[in-house]
Amino acid sequence: MSIDKELLDRLMQGRSPGDLFGKDGILSELTKALAERALSTEIDVHLDEERAEAVPEGHNEPANRRNGSSSKTVTTDSGKVVLDIPRDRNGTFDPVLIAKYQRRFPDFDRKIISMYARGMTTREIQGHIEEIYGVEASPA
């Protein structure tokens, strides 16, 4: 399945083609949305793995869970993007997509554009993100 042209039209609605790039451009918004979605999936997988290794029943240790998020400014090829990085209560979550202390997100914009330009399906994009970043993402 390729990207729906109606979705692209809705993204461009009320904007000029010049609004694609730049600080508040669509590309910046897409980068933020895709990165935050991948990070959300990462923490879900992390918490599921911890629950699978949980303490046996009868112990009163609470299960690890989400604990809000923290903002992190990362530099992409098209400028700076502020991401909301999810946290867990135990502080054991270490993101793969944007590792702790990492501030550069090189070539991410170019990779996203190339995936759309090549007409990749959502499953192909999922596989590509998984291959490059080692992050499982839903094809939805």
- Spell out the SS3 assignment of the chain: CCCCHHHHHHHHCCCCHHHCCCCCCHHHHHHHHHHHHHHHHHHHHHHHHHHHCCCCCCCCCCCCCEEEEEEEEEEECCEEEEEEEEEECCCCCCCCCCCCCCCECCCHHHHHHHHHHCCCCHHHHHHHHHHHHCCCCCCC
Average pLDDT across the chain, whole number:
79
Model pTM greater than 0.85?
Answer: no
Q: Which residue has the higher pLDDT, 9 or 21?
A: 9
pLDDT for residue 39 is more than 70:
yes
Could you read off the pLDDT of 95-110 as tens digits, one per residue? 988 888 888 876 665 6
Q: Which residue has the higher pLDDT, 48 or 58?
A: 48
| Residue ranges covered by each domain of the chain | 5-133
pLDDT average, residue stretch 20-35: 80
